[in-house]
Structure formats: C-alpha cells, structure tokens
Structure 1
Amino acid sequence: MTFTRVKERVSVVIPCYNSAPYIEQCLDSIAAQTYKHIEIILINDGSTDDVDQIVQRWRQRELARRFAADGQFVSLTLPYNIGYAGANTTGLFLARGEYIAIQDADDFSSPTRIEKQVSFLKKHPDVGMVGTYIAKFRDSEPDVYLKAGFIVDGHANIANKYLVQNKSGASYGSLLFRSEIFDQVGGLVRKLPGKRSITGHDFLFIFKCLKQGVRIENIPEVHYYYRKHAGQMSNTK
C-alpha cells in the first residue's frame, strides 16, 4: 500500500532506547544538516532512562530555530520495549518524505551527509539506496576515529558481500533510500532466522532489498560516526 509522499523531504528515522547520554549530539547533527527539507521521526522504544525529557527539552529549543513548521518533528514513545527492528519499522511507517534516512540515537552524522546522499540519488535514478563510509569511535575516546574497513564501493561488490559471502558491505545507519523501497520490501525482520546474531536485523533489511533488485551504492566519504560503548545493542542480548 502506498500514499503520496512530500516531495524533496527527507524523513530521518531515529530509533531510541536508553540513549540519554547521546541523544542530544545525535539530534544536533541532524538539525545542523545543510539539506534543510527534513523531518525527524524519533521512536522511543520504551526507554527506562530520562531520554524522553531530554528530547522534549531539545525539541522546544529547536522548534523556534529550526523545526518551526508543524509536523517536522515527530516523537513517539512506545509503552514497552519492542526491540530495534520493531522501533525502526514503526518509524518507517510514520515517514512521509520522498526519501528516508536512518540515524541511530547513539551515533551522529556530518553536516553534509543528507545533502550529498540526496544529490547522489538525483544524479543516479537507477540507484535506490545510498550509504556512506563510516568512522568508528569509542565512547572513552570521542575524538579518535577509525574508518570501518568492511564497507565496499560499487553495487556489484556490495551485492556480492551480502548475497554470496553473507557479510556486510554497507552500514544500515548511514543509509538514505527512496521511500518506495519501504513500500516495496517492508521493514526490518523482527524474528531472525537460524543462528544470526542480534545485530542481524539491519543486515537482513539490506539483504532483502538486494534480493528484490534494489541497487545500492556507497559514497566513498565518511559522513557517519558510529559510537562503540558498553550499552549498545551489539553488546547486549
């Protein structure tokens, strides 16, 4: 089922669970984007910390400066924790933009990330989704960045990693894609098959898109910064 999307708008979906120490930096990085036609869709996945209060204070501060138009900032607090895949998909259903971008609540993006990704898709109408290079950093060393080595260039190389090698070749958190892809393939798989780890939801989303013929590329520049910390999903069960 499809509906009319807002032309040129980018819906930035931010799933959030107990991200109080990081959420302001995340939101600030989206508010600072050089591409201005943005809406934020923040899904609080039943957090038990005070992230809701922090988000509301941030929202009140930014409404007057940046997100003044009605509906540019959508915040939904779920009554209980449904997990990363469920929170992501909830945000995808609420997205109204022509494009959808992903942003994890404990990470941040460069100011030009969205502008460069939208420009790339406009120049390459055959491409459905585009990621970027990412840099990892530890919470204890916030100014020390290390470029991730698993990301590859070119659709054929990315597809080979997912469909043949069963490895990642792109970063889900860095993705921006045409909204009709969600209409076509649906959201993230909540129940992972076999022995795939808890971090496999994002892998399977990209895998599913590739299986259905979606072309994916990566911009060979770092525009997404991935935080390593003890409380992140990949370190918990």
Structure 2
Amino acid sequence: DELARFVTGRALDTLAHYRATREDLDTATAALTRQLAQQRAAVASLRRERSAAAAEVARLARLARQSGRATAARTRLTGVIVGTGDWLCPVAGPHAFSNDFGDPRPGGRLHQGVDILAPRGTPVVASVSGVVSDHPNALGGLGYFLAGSDGNTYYGAHLEGYAASGSVAKGTVVGYVGNTGDAAGGPPHLHFEIHPGGGAAVNPYPTLVRYC
C-alpha cells in the first residue's frame, strides 16, 4: 500500500508538473503567436506605407515632368529675351515683323521663328560674334547658322545671297534678305530663329521687339 501510494503520488506530481509545463508552453506559444501576428501586421503596414510613399513619389515626379513640359512649352511660345544690351537686330535696314512664331505651316509643321520683312538685298548681320556656317536647304533656301559667342545658336533663312562666314564679329554682314526656298514668289524676308544653348527654338519675338 505504501508503495502504491508512493507511486501514485509520484505519478500525480509528474502529471501536475506536466500539466503546468504544458500550460506554460501553451501560454508562451499563444504569446509568440500574438507577437508573430503583430510583427506580420507591422510588416504589412510598413509595406503599405512604402507602397504609398512610392506612389506619392511617382505622382510628384509626374507632376514635375508635366510642370517642366508646361514651363518649356510656355517658354517656347512666349520666348525669352537674349542679349545683354549690345545684341544687334539681324536685319540692318527698314523692316517689319509680327509675332508669327508657332503659326501652322504646310505638312503639319509649326513656324519655328519670326519672319522679318525687308526690301530685297537688305543686309543681314550677325547679332553677336561667333561662327557662321552656310546651310542651304529645300525649305529655307539659302540659310545659315550662327553659333554665337553667347552660347546661343541662331538660324536665318531665305537669303538672296551669302556674305561672310566662319568666325565673325558682331555686326558682320552674313547675307542679304531674299525669298529663296519655300518662300519663292512671296515677299522678301528673313526667317529668324533663336535656339538658347543650342536647344529647341523659342519665340524670338520678345528679343526682336527689344533690339529691332
């Protein structure tokens, strides 16, 4: 009987210890499960925040690109004034012009410059010092480029004839007003473009108004 009671007591103690240990394990497992769920929720929240932040960055980048394109478009249409006070009007004689930059042209083109009307043979001069290169072509007829010392590129077209080329000083005659190219049969004029920094053409009208 004593042995039976001893064995039974030991068994009960072991069972109680097992149950207590099992309860501790269950409690710890439940706590770990809750922590894991919280961590997963935190990770999911961070992923959502990162996704939202990436979407916001992309949205701001799109807005910046759109704003940049809009600003560039406005600059191209309204133009910028180049020159520092000593810039010269490219037509050295009586002339007239209007703001016809961007006007539609045949073939879906848009006018990339301003047409300066002047009597045939009126001298066309370099507005700034730089390097002049002749550029005859089908549309512009006798055209030229001036790589200006101010960092800008200038293009003129429809000349009656060429004059100086290569390195030129400001005011050097580079050609004469005419109506060659697709201007044949129309009034003599200088088609004149300004390309700031050698980039896309911008409206030269504000510059011409100031200096011509």
TM-score past 0.5 threshold:
no
User: Which category of TM-score, normalised to the shorter sequence, fits these structures?
Assistant: under 0.3
Higher relative contact order, structure no. (Cα contacts within 8 Å, ≥ 6 residues apart): 1
Which is higher, the Rg of structure 1 or of structure 2? Answer: 2
TM-score under structure 1 length normalisation: 0.22
